[in-house]
Amino acid sequence: MENKYEKMWQDIGLDVPLHKELLESINKSFNATVGAQQNRPLGMKYFDQVLHESHGGRVAELIENKARGNKTVGTFCIYVPDEIVMAVDFIPMPLCGGTNFSVPYAEKTFPRDICPLVKSTLGLAFSKTCPYAPIKSMAVGETTCDAKKKTWEILAKKVNFHVMEVPQKKNDLDKKIWREEVEEFKNKIEALAERKVTPEKLRQNIKIMNDKRRALQKLGELRKHDPPPISGLDALVVMQGALNDEPVRFTQNLNKLNQELEERITQGISPFAKGVKRIMISGTPSVMGNWKVHSLIEKSGATIVVDESCTGTRYYENLVTENDNNIDKQLDALAERYMKINCSCFTPNDDRITDAVNKVEQFKVNGVVHYILQYCHTYNVETLKLDAEFKKKNIPSLKIVTDYSEEDIGQLRTRIDAFLERLE
């Protein structure tokens, strides 16, 4: 049966038969993980839909926005301030890939031994199966890791590309550099839009993004309950949707879901029994298409109650000061908020360590799973510092280094089962 978006995909130059295979592969993985869960909140229907429409209805919205004279800006990291893009009615769109399907297309030209997130992203673009690649007007990279920053040099030859320098320390000088980067980014966006970012528009969009973060924070609070009213895998699906969906609509639907979750708590409804083992995921992001480790942990009988990652608390935990009506102050506030993100590219990154230990206490976590994408050296090495602190507090941890393939699933299941048995 022909998909209703087939013409749109053809028009934007996708390889339609290969794109069909990609969607089938993602659906298969979705059905075996997210779709296989029991006792899901009814409100998850919307977020499943966000996912299924990410290559359909959402792309159509971006094309409509373009027809109105507005543009899409592709991003690869939560350090890029969406508020500035939105202040000129552009749409920021994360381009990170979470599917193994596209990895071989990147490996044809790029080294195999780089992170699967980078390879999946590039593979989608190279195989003409990423619908965002042809419609974006600019891409914004950053200097958070070596694989990414060297990739930008190659992509910049082909597309309109801007690189933000994310400093690697958090001293006063670094904060000054970052503030300048944020201002330069604003100038770049203004040049592309051929209009100014006004304080009023920036204020409106700071509020929109803060409202989204508040709704995600509320979801985080509800997951503190024993048993949590929602699985960690479903919370991840919500988070993945946060990166793709129109933010006002997303927040409205998340507020509705949160209400339902409150009712489930009152009625004692949960996919888990009281006393279920509570896990914190800590480390690299799990972007759309990647449900592997979350699903394995919950199929083994534990639940994930918090994600200390960029598809978790690092995305939503800090708000931007609202109500400033002066562009300089607003840029100060944005730079300050984004600089608080504890990415492992910083050295030292002690705030992340303190924060992770606090989260274990706040969420009554029984054990931590370090989730590390293969070849992500900064997160991998940083587990040593985290584990030293966890050990002092008798917090058990398990390190999983993996890619997007299914080859290691059996081995991971055995290791996760053995780890869960160790937990009190």
Contacts with ligand SF4 by CB under 6 A lie at: 77-79, 115, 117-118, 144-145, 147-148, 284-285, 310, 341, 343, 345, 373, 376, 379
CB 120, min distance to ligand SF4, A: 10
Nearer to ligand SF4, 334 or 373 (CB): 373
Do 398 and 415 touch, CB atoms closer than 8 A? yes
**Measuring CA to CA, which residue among 259, 192, 188, 271 is closest to residue 226?**
271
CB 147, min distance to ligand SF4, A: 5
Sheet of 91-94, strand order: 91-94, 72-75, 136-142, 161-164
Nearer to ligand SF4, 65 or 244 (CB): 244
CB 248, min distance to ligand SF4, A: 23
Six-digit token pair at 377? 């050296």
Nearer to ligand SF4, 1 or 384 (CB): 384
Do 220 and 306 touch, CB atoms closer than 8 A? yes
Nearer to ligand SF4, 335 or 376 (CB): 376
* Alpha-carbon gap, residue 242 to 237, rounded angstroms: 9
CB 57, min distance to ligand SF4, A: 25
CB 363, min distance to ligand SF4, A: 20
Phi and psi, residue 283, nearest 5°: 140, -130
Nearer to ligand SF4, 197 or 343 (CB): 343
Nearer to ligand SF4, 43 or 94 (CB): 94
Nearer to ligand SF4, 40 or 292 (CB): 292
Amino acid at 26: I
Element housing 163 (H / E): strand 161-164
Nearer to ligand SF4, 310 or 420 (CB): 310
Do you find a cis peptide bond into 227, omega within 30 degrees of 0? yes
CB 256, min distance to ligand SF4, A: 28
> What's the start-to-end Cα distance of the chain, in Å?
51
Dump the DSSP string for 258-293.
HHHHHHHHHHT--SS-TT--EEEEEES---TT--HH
Do 72 and 269 touch, CB atoms closer than 8 A? no
Nearer to ligand SF4, 9 or 404 (CB): 404
CB 31, min distance to ligand SF4, A: 26
CB 226, min distance to ligand SF4, A: 29
Beta pairing partners, 74: 93, 139
CB 373, min distance to ligand SF4, A: 4
Specify the 3-state DSSP secondary structure of 305: strand
Beta pairing partners, 373: 402
For 44, how many CA atoms within 13 A lie in the half-sphere containing its CB?
20
Six-digit token pair at 418? 């053995």
